[in-house]
Chains A and B, each alone.
Chain A
Amino acid sequence: MELTILLLIPTVAAVVAGLLPQRREQDAKWVALLASVAALALSIWLFLDFETGKEGYQFVQREDWVDIGAFNLQYAVGVDGISMPLVVLTTALTVAAVLVSFSVTMRPRLYYAMLMLLSVSVLGVFIALDFMLFFLFWELELFPMFLLIAIWGSGRREYSATKFVLYTIAGSAFMLVGILVLAFSANTFDIEQLGQAEFRDTVIPLGWVFFLLFVGFAVKLPIVPVHTWLPDAHGDAPTAVSVMLAGVLLKMGGYGLIRMCVTMLPEQADDYSVWMVAIGAGSVLYGAFVTLRQTDLKRLIAYSSVSHMGLVLLGIGAMGKTALMGATYQMLAHGVITGLLFVCVGLMYERTHTRDIARLGGLARQMPIIATGLVFAGFGSLGLPALAGFVAEITVFLGAFQRYEWAVLMAIWGAVLSAGYILWTMQRVVFGPVRHEWDGLSDQKHWWEHTVVAGLVAAVILLGVYPALMMDYIGPALDPIIERVES
């Protein structure tokens, strides 16, 4: 019931914001803020109420939905130690996304309705316990994303929005086949049961099924070579969408890989393990190399995300307890760090109206607070200890090294490359001589800007110095997966 309320809060907000009368349209942001804060409060309450150390799903609710022969669909929701932190991440970044949108004045009713709908769909993906429900939420997310990029974006926004949708749909077509094959074989769509099922007599070999599911999630993660939608989408999306996209949407891919690919098909995952690890380490390096060539600040961060999500795949592919822990933690860490990066870049863009690195420079003098935030987030991104990314990266490395030394010895070069692109970017954007072109621009000053930056900074530090907070949740949820992998 609690999780259903969590879904309903932004849903209701979307409807209310959408139906506001014309003269009150600027109030849509307050509706969205109220709802997102309420959702965050509820998710934190659930997080605290969650019994750690217990295997299985909690706050479970199941209702029959469709029941036609083999098609036995449920409305089933629940969270375990993997999805619980991701739910909190989603609600927290939704608040951040709403706050950074406060300066949006164009068609606010539709904008905030779409933002709320986006939040609903991502939450739905993380809490769904029915595979078809999962898929519906997965697809639902495309609709608000398409509109948000195509209407409120910049640059080639329609191209980027279309590319995003086509990529995801192509991936999810593969995924849907995989879902149906598994569900018909086990005669259930229940994710919990599928996670314990032995599949026999499938219409296509299980290796293929694994591949189909993998492609669907890999596009979302994204991994090289199905990553080129990400820099376009990020480059042209409004700030709030970038925050949501980098912060939580990419995590749907990693979540799916762990929940579906590894848990449901451990044997096949093990067979493909070396490929996942190779692609993961390859993505880390490929993403980092291409990041070094970027001249657009947002595309640069997008490519760095490709590199960082490669670490998630590396950890998942290595399949050990520590490696999976690292992968899950990397999703959380990347969520808050990259969220903060996009917020700071968004604040700069709002003032300078350019993302061209060559035109920026010396902003540490004109915008000291925003510049400090950007440098902080940059150090988070390059894996500085005491910040979130470090714990995640090193856990992935330690975990994966036990099985694939060569892949880790490749991937650790990402640490040097990330230092390269982050510090070079800082040198060009915030340091160096003052450019008088940007004189008179204001620094961060509104309460919503301060709130969002301070909140994310706190989260990056908290995850960096107190990993046990999340690991005590994630660990017990990984145990059954590891048992299944090992048996």
Chain B
Amino acid sequence: MPFLAADPVAHGVPTIDEAVLWAILAVPFAAWLAIVVYVRKLPQAAGWLSAAAIGVAMVLSYVTLFNVIDADGGVAIHTHEWFRTGLGEGPEDLVVNIGLRIDGLSAVMLVVVTTVSFLVQVYSTGYMSGDHGYGRYFAHMCLFTTSMLGLVLADNLFMMFMFWELVGLSSYLLIGFWFHKPSAAAAAKKAFIVTRIGDLGLLAAMLLIWSRTGELGVAEIQEIAIAGTVPQWVITWFALGIFAGAAGKSAQFPLHTWLPDAMEGPTPVSALIHAATMVAAGVYLVARFFPVFEHTEDASTVVAYIGGLTALMAASIALVQTDFKRVLAYSTVSQLGYMIMALGLGGYVAAIFHLFTHAFFKALLFLGSGSVNHSTNTFDMRLMGGLRKYMPITYFTFLIGSLSLAGVPPFAGFFSKDEILLDAWRENRGLWVIGVAVAFMTAFYMFRAIFLTFHGQYKGGQPVDHHDEDSHFHGDPAHPHESPWVMTAPLIVLAVPAVAAGWFAWDHMFADFINGALPEVHAHGSTFEWGIAISSTAVALAGIFSAWAIYERKWVTSASIRDGFAPLAFLFERKYFLDELYEGLIVKTIMQRGWNRLLELNDKYIVDGVVNGSGQVVRWGSGRLRTIQTGQVQSYGLGLLAGVIVIVVAVYSANPL
């Protein structure tokens, strides 16, 4: 079996010019600047400018990738000082660098981000045409791409944190893109705040490691973890802090609640940011510090169980969604849970490989859902059906994406999911059972969505509200049609990696490449086993068959199943009541009506009570002394001053020095 070959590979140093790496960041940034400055004058140019800029960044990323392949995924770091608070002699002084790091891991991420981003920009020129904020949309997209690339290329934790937050900003701006919709404004706010809670962990991790070691560089921190020069608890808490940040961005329990709401943004945004790239940033971050996690059993265990729990929880919610996009959103949360679980189980390669394949097929699925929306003016699957007749390209590409996600060989998702399940089988049988259950649910809910949307009879879509000036819907939902070529072409292009990206597992190609980013590699054995492969394929096919039986052949009605599991279905439909817990109980009741109100009243009655009370005393006193005082504030001040001077001079003359 070629999968089983596992000779250690010597890694070289990538020779790619530093200027090329900076250019990858600078070109989308320049496009952002150009659109911001000229957006009002040339809105239509914004789309093509943005696509062209990201296209250039994509070409440069591929150049970089091939250069790194020549070096077998080895590491090159280019770093420069940004600012310092002192001369850098003692641990007291903070020296902050800004630098780029390229290796197998970042090269893969570069290619994923720029490829998906480029295709999404092209798609968006069609999807967003006619929108009031057309120029603004592309400006935000360029800002996002720049920030994401900065995060991927950063060589130190400080810079990572900066771009991490900027990615959060662009996510906020794009979720709230249609800001006149209250639901969009609320979802944007929720996304930023919830992820920021996780970011505190990342911040605390940075504070901890810097105060203990004086280092912020990724390579230095990895070395410290390996050498064990700091106490174990520092490593453990550092890892947990990093993971908290990852849990926020990658929507892991208990911070996952923002991602489904983030679907308020335009669909290409969901495809790029909330499926393929930004939400994978947490996985990337944990992978970046993978040597640290390898050296702390406790933190890794937490990571693995949180990942497994998230995968299961989100998949169960996805079973009952009626909104096409929300199915995909919960599916994303669930798949991210898979990746996180793999990282916790030591499956660095499996996690990144799944990130890699998932980026393509999930972006494809989201863009497909956007194409459907473009034709039906809705995401409600109850208003769709039968669309495969009207939208064959969308249907077939969506089918490919779904087969890939469901894990059917030889599609991409099969290979990466299989590696995760294999790692789980070896490390933790309990999590393997969860993983298999999630695989079944994934196949089931995806094909449920396909049968509801593309099969059966068309139910008419959502009629266009012609009074809504913000709606830019052109077509007639009653007569659905295939989308224009700028939208179908990216679907077709993305369908290729959705099928074939998994084949890079051949001969350990992918594993050897991204292992180059690690200072030390522990062999995890082969990446393929017939038993696991056959069982997971069988589970996926069973899921598809169940969906077919219920939603296509209707041997059993879905309503009767729902009634059979009513309490459970209710729990899934209400998303485990977490929104009620967070917003209703904690934020609105405990904080706003309780604690915050208490402090406000303290200011109003206690603190100001003392102040106004002393004012009353002064007023009363001044009433007594009206004959000698004017009653003006300035006079009180002068009196006070004079009195103090008299006292001090008296004390001084009584106690001559």
Listed in ascending order, the chain A residues whose CB lies under 8 Å from chain B are 70, 139, 142-143, 146, 162-163, 165-167, 169-170, 172-173, 176-177, 180-181, 184-185, 187, 201, 203-204, 225, 227-229, 286, 289-290, 292-293, 320-322, 325-326, 362, 364-365, 379, 384-386, 390-391, 394-395, 397-399, 401-402, 405, 408-409, 412-413, 415-416, 419-420, 423-424, 426-427, 430-434, 466-468, 471, 475, 478-479, 482
Contact = CB atoms under 8 A, between A and B. Distances in A.
B652 A228 contact: no
Contact of B203 (A162, A292, A386, A397): A397
Contacts of B655: 203
Given A293-B600, A399-B85, A409-B204, A384 B165 contact: yes
Contacts of B180: 362, 364-365, 431-434
Given A176-B644, A322-B86, A395-B85, 8 more contacts: A173-B641, A362-B180, A394-B158, A401-B208, A408-B207, A423-B188, A426-B185, A434-B180
Contacts of A471: 83-85
B189 A424 contact: yes
Contact of B657 (A139, A201, A390, A430): A201
B657 A185 contact: yes
Interface string B156-172: 00100111011001001
Nearest to A184: B652
Interface stretch (B118-126, B296-304, B436-444, B603-611): B603-611
Contacts of A398: 94, 206-207, 210-211
B85 A325 contact: yes
Chain B interface, >50% SS class: helix
8 contacts: A162-B615, A173-B641, A292-B596, A362-B180, A397-B203, A405-B207, A416-B197, A468-B84
A13 B204 CA distance: 50
The 7 A-B residue pairs with the shortest CB-CB distance in the complex, in nearest-first order: A385-B162, A431-B185, A431-B179, A325-B85, A467-B83, A401-B207, A423-B189
B592 interface: yes
Contacts of A204: 651
B641 A167 contact: no
Contacts of A203: 651-652, 655
Interface string B87-113: 000011110000000000000000000
A18 B597 CA distance: 46
Given A166-B636, A365-B180, A402-B211, A419 B196 contact: yes
A320 to B, nearest CB: 6
Given A203-B655, A398-B207, A427-B189, A228 B608 contact: yes
A173 B82 contact: no
B603 A385 contact: no
B181 to A, nearest CB: 8
Contacts of A390: 162, 165
A304 to B, nearest CB: 14
A475 B89 CA distance: 13
Nearest to B203: A412
A166 B615 contact: yes
Contacts of A466: 83
B592 A292 contact: yes
Contacts of A431: 176, 179-180, 182, 185
A434 B86 CA distance: 50
A165 B193 contact: no
A385 B84 contact: no
B652 A386 contact: no
B595 interface: yes
A292 B597 CA distance: 9
B28 to A, nearest CB: 15
A371 to B, nearest CB: 9
Contacts of B647: 177
B641 A176 contact: yes
Contact of A386 (B85, B166, B599, B615): B166
A321 B169 contact: no
Nearest to B207: A401
Interface string B240-277: 00000000000000000000000000000000000000
Nearest to B593: A293
Contacts of A475: 84-86
Nearest to B610: A225
Nearest to B657: A201
A480 to B, nearest CB: 13
Interface in B615-657: 615, 633-634, 636-637, 640-641, 644-645, 647-648, 651-652, 655, 657
B657 A402 contact: no
A19 to B, nearest CB: 23
Given A289-B599, A395-B85, A434-B180, A423 B648 contact: no
A169 B636 contact: yes
Contacts of B196: 415-416, 419
Contact of B92 (A322, A395, A423, A430): A322
Nearest to A409: B204
A412 B204 contact: yes
A166 B186 CA distance: 42
Contacts of B165: 384-385, 390
Interface in B43-93: 82-86, 91-93
B163 A169 contact: no
Nearest to A291: B596
Contact of A401 (B186, B211, B637, B640): B211
B599 A286 contact: yes
Nearest to B210: A398
Interface string B574-593: 00000000000000000110
Nearest to B652: A184
A72 to B, nearest CB: 14
A184 B656 CA distance: 10
B330 interface: no
B71 to A, nearest CB: 31
A430 B176 CA distance: 12
B608 to A, nearest CB: 5
A303 B591 CA distance: 17
Contact of A419 (B186, B193, B203): B193
A92 to B, nearest CB: 21
B74 to A, nearest CB: 29
A433 B182 contact: yes
A289 B85 contact: no
A324 B430 CA distance: 51
Contacts of B294: none
B207 A290 contact: no
Contacts of A181: 648
A433 B184 CA distance: 11
Given A169-B636, A385-B162, A293 B592 contact: yes
Given A398-B210, A433-B180, A415 B193 contact: no
A423 to B, nearest CB: 4
B192 interface: yes
